[in-house]
Structure 1
Amino acid sequence: MPELTVGERRWSVEPGSNLLDALNRAGVAVPFSCRAGSCHACLVHCVQGLPSDSRPDALSSEQRHLGWRLACQCQVVEDLQVETFDPLRDGLPATVVGLDWLSSTVLRLRLQPTRPLRYRAGQHLVLWTVGRVARPYSLASLPEEDRFLEFHLDCRQPGQFSDAARQLRLGDPMRLGELRGGALHYDPDWQAHPLWLLAAGTGLAPLFGVLREALRQDHQGPIRIIHLAHDASEHYLAKPLAALAANRPQLTVELLVGAELAAALAQLRLVSRQTQALLCGHPDSVEAFARRLYLAGLPRNQLLADVFLPRG
């Protein structure tokens, strides 16, 4: 059987084992979110040997040449030595400067890093607690306007990170992992096109950043934002969205709960074949949104999506 080596640890794994699962089962903490090669949270450095990679297109040729791989997309087929992210050695120190409950289950976390971080709306960042619990989250802040990094944490279900987040206090230290890519962004070439932003739950976080970026760049086409929540109390950005829409006739905001989704999707009609759609949230919701948009005639290359995979 092939052997996997991380630091001083070495153990055998079944041939063809998923690299991410093999690492996490052995207690080597490698964060992940989408498991689809999109969020890049599970990036590892292969020092010796190479795994079988089912998504070679997910990284640049330069990254691959240097030995970087997405653990969620790799299978262990030979002896392999990898280096994983060490938050104390490699992480950027940050301080908790804001903690607010936007609803009964959504915690807004604001962090101040020790040095400015260059990022774009829609990207991901891996957060590490002092107890070395890690989780990738999408940035809801805007680099040109906000002096902090903002994240919206779904604490509805128990989990290592959400449980730790509930105990955070102002002034607490955290560590930031590497900034990751992601499908969601705003392209100035879309300025005259209809822009649809469809979110479920805290999938609204990156799309809120993208929306603000579009408005900052004076987007000229109509903007439609739809937020799907479990119930009305979970439309946690209803007031900020209403404030943005108040003086912008090109921006419309629609708030849906689960029971209304099917009827709302049935009424979905494209106003233009040039519509650009960005989707984010639970895989089932993203799939439902995407299926309806395709049926409505949206070209596949005009739909960008990120999914938040539930931890289990």
Structure 2
Amino acid sequence: MPELHVGERHWSVPTGSNLLDALNQAGVAVPYSCRAGSCHACLVRCEGEVDDCQPEALSPAQRQDGWRLACQCQVSGDVQVETFDPLRDGVTAQVVATDWLTPSVLRLRVQAQHNLRYRAGQHLVLWAGQVARPYSLASLPQEDGFLEFHLDCRQPGQFSDIARRLRVGERLVLGELRGGALHYDPDWQSRPLWLLASGTGLGPLWGVLREALRQDHQGPIRVIHLAHDAAGHYLAEPLAALAARHPQLTVELWTAAELTQALAQLRLVSRQTLALLCGSPASVEAFSKRLFLAGLPRNQLLADVFLPRG
């Protein structure tokens, strides 16, 4: 059987084993989120025999340097693995604000040691000690002087437990900036734009929305936020303020009890509509199915799914 080598450790795994699972099951902590090659949280450096199911997910320079997405690799022979070292490879950041937008949604703002070039909707991996979790950016690079994240703290978790106790002035480490499906393209300026989110999936779309408005998007923009109940609409006031200033923007706040009826009434005004979706797997699937039934072409839907750690 092939052997994995990490530092001084080595152990055998069955041929064809998923690299991410093999590492985590052996106690080598590799963060992950989407398991689809989108968030890039599980980046590791490899030397040896792995079958990469999604080589196009990384740049040629990254691949030349040995980086691979562990979730997309199957072990086919002996492999030497070097995991991300936050002390060596990360960027130090200082917590500048922590605000509870609801009893379960924490808005975390950090200031990086040096400026990061990013676009609205991208991901970063946050490290607190040796605990890491990928989060989407809710901030806007051209306007905000900080990096903003919206953390769902409803359930206990290694990182969310630490985040609840963070105080201004404490330090975190930022992993490498990752891609993601969500973004704003200036070529979309005249097309209808729909942003559909559930829970803290609204975070990256908040950044995309403000980027679209910053670039003077001319087409109608429709924002739909799905929450468990009315109290979960944690950006209701800022969204209303934006809608008051931008006549092309409409905002709809849905609750779980209203979802079935609201989806049934969803109609496309134009087949040129672009839809960006973000949130839990169930909500993204429900939104997607209804949009496709309404006639939205599949190549006009972009989605990021927030998977729970398990």
Runs of 4+ residues deviating >6 angstroms: none
Match of 1:19 in 2: 19
SS of residue matched to 1:297: coil
- State the Cα RMSD in Å: 1.0
SS of residue matched to 1:245: helix
Residues of 1 paired with 2:239 and 2:145: CA distance?
A: 20
Residues of 1 paired with 2:61 and 2:295: CA distance?
A: 36
CA apart distance, 1:80: 0.3
Amino acid at match of 2:296: L
Moved more, 208-217 or 247-256: 247-256
Residues of 2 paired with 1:260 and 1:56: CA distance?
A: 41
The TM-score normalised by the length of structure 2 is 0.98
Match of 1:234 in 2: 232
CA apart distance, 1:7: 1.7
1:138-153 paired onto structure 2 within 5 Å:
138-153=136-151
Q: Deviations over 1:122-180 (max 9, x none)?
A: 00000000x31000000000000000000000000000000011111111010000000
Amino acid at match of 1:135: R
CA apart distance, 1:54: 2.1
Residues of 2 paired with 1:180 and 1:249: CA distance?
A: 33
Residues of 1 paired with 2:165 and 2:63: CA distance?
A: 39
Q: Deviations over 1:11-43 (max 9, x none)?
A: 111222111111112222211110111111111
1:186-225 paired onto structure 2 within 5 Å:
186-225=184-223
Residues of 2 paired with 1:169 and 1:247: CA distance?
A: 34
Residues of 2 paired with 1:297 and 1:85: CA distance?
A: 43
Match of 2:89 in 1: 90
Q: Deviations over 1:238-268 (max 9, x none)?
A: 0110110012111000001111111111111
Match of 1:9 in 2: 9
Match of 1:154 in 2: 152
Match of 1:164 in 2: 162
Amino acid at match of 2:233: H
1:3-82 paired onto structure 2 within 5 Å:
3-46=3-46, 48-82=47-81
Report the number of matched residues. 310
CA apart distance, 1:64: 2.9
Residues of 1 paired with 2:58 and 2:111: CA distance?
A: 29
Residues of 2 paired with 1:237 and 1:84: CA distance?
A: 37
Match of 1:121 in 2: 120
CA apart distance, 1:63: 3.1
Identity fraction in percent: 78
The TM-score normalised by the length of structure 1 is 0.97
SS of residue matched to 2:77: coil
Residues of 1 paired with 2:245 and 2:110: CA distance?
A: 30
Q: Which runs of 5+ in 2 are unaligned?
A: none
Residues of 2 paired with 1:50 and 1:62: CA distance?
A: 19
